[in-house]
Structure 1
């Protein structure tokens, strides 16, 4: 199966896919902050909104959202718990995945009411071998930009793909 992952990745490397994430709201920022227990942000965001000031997103809001869709129902999740759309090069294959690390660069602050785009590409795919056996390391980049092209955040991550045990 790992050879198939590498073959599929070869077709995707360097090909950017764009997703319109829509217009973000202060309520979404507060829901995220509540989920990560950032009560200081919640107080500050409510105060800014009540005073009519712009509400900016928590710093890791964009990188903490796995998907901009409603999400799949439980029966549609892969055995490793991921949604199929979050699994480049692996759709329908009996593999499991884990995250192998992430590097985040923050850009301009994201303000409620802004439209966000996410551009994602597989940068590379490499066959490797570790203590637990063979795996493929997928390097993926996601860039979040505003409607005018201003970079809001960029994420470089590694996804480890292994044969299903």
Structure 2
């Protein structure tokens, strides 16, 4: 879980780059600028390779699903996002699947 936490958000982020709920503005694709709150809804990590030291890394985000949950006025969205961490243009290091509760 250390790799995804390190790569979460830009280095030296300014206050404006955070959402009111404390997540980075681009944490969940499609929610920037919306008056909603995001909560962590679970995470799985598949480690694929050992990360090399001193090599630039890249992350690709993909929205896998958006589902309505709850009932009787307690409805919320559950957004599932996959993040693939790679050595730039090369080896896959980890695939992180995260679920976010959107209220």
Measured against the shorter chain, the TM-score band is: 0.7 to 0.9
Out of 4, 18, 21, the position equivalent to 1:80 is 21
Out of 112, 122, 145, the position equivalent to 2:63 is 122
Q: Secondary structure at the match of 1:62?
A: helix
Unaligned runs of 5+ in 1: 1-59
1:94–1:148 distance in 2 versus 1, CA, 3 Å = closer
Larger radius of gyration: 1
Shift in Å at residue 147 of structure 1?
A: 3.0
Which stretches of structure 1, 4 residues or more, deviate above 6 A after TM superposition?
Answer: none
Q: Would the aligned equivalents of 2:57 and 2:87 in 1 still touch at CA under 8 Å?
A: yes
Unaligned runs of 5+ in 2: none
Higher strand share: 2
Shift in Å at residue 130 of structure 1?
A: 5.4
- Which residue is equivalent to 1:69? 11
TM-score normalised by L of structure 1: 0.55
Note the alpha carbon deviations across 1:5-41, whole angstroms, 9 max, x for none. xxxxxxxxxxxxxxxxxxxxxxxxxxxxxxxxxxxxx
Aligned equivalents of 2:100 and 2:5: distance in 1? 16
Note the alpha carbon deviations across 1:51-72, whole angstroms, 9 max, x for none. xxxxxxxxx3321121133213
Shift in Å at residue 128 of structure 1?
A: 1.2
Aligned Cα RMSD in Å?
A: 2.0
1:130–1:102 distance in 2 versus 1, CA, 3 Å = farther
Higher helix share: 1
Shift in Å at residue 96 of structure 1?
A: 0.7
Q: Would the aligned equivalents of 1:144 and 1:154 in 2 still touch at CA under 8 Å?
A: yes
TM-score normalised by L of structure 2: 0.85
Aligned equivalents of 1:132 and 1:80: distance in 2? 21
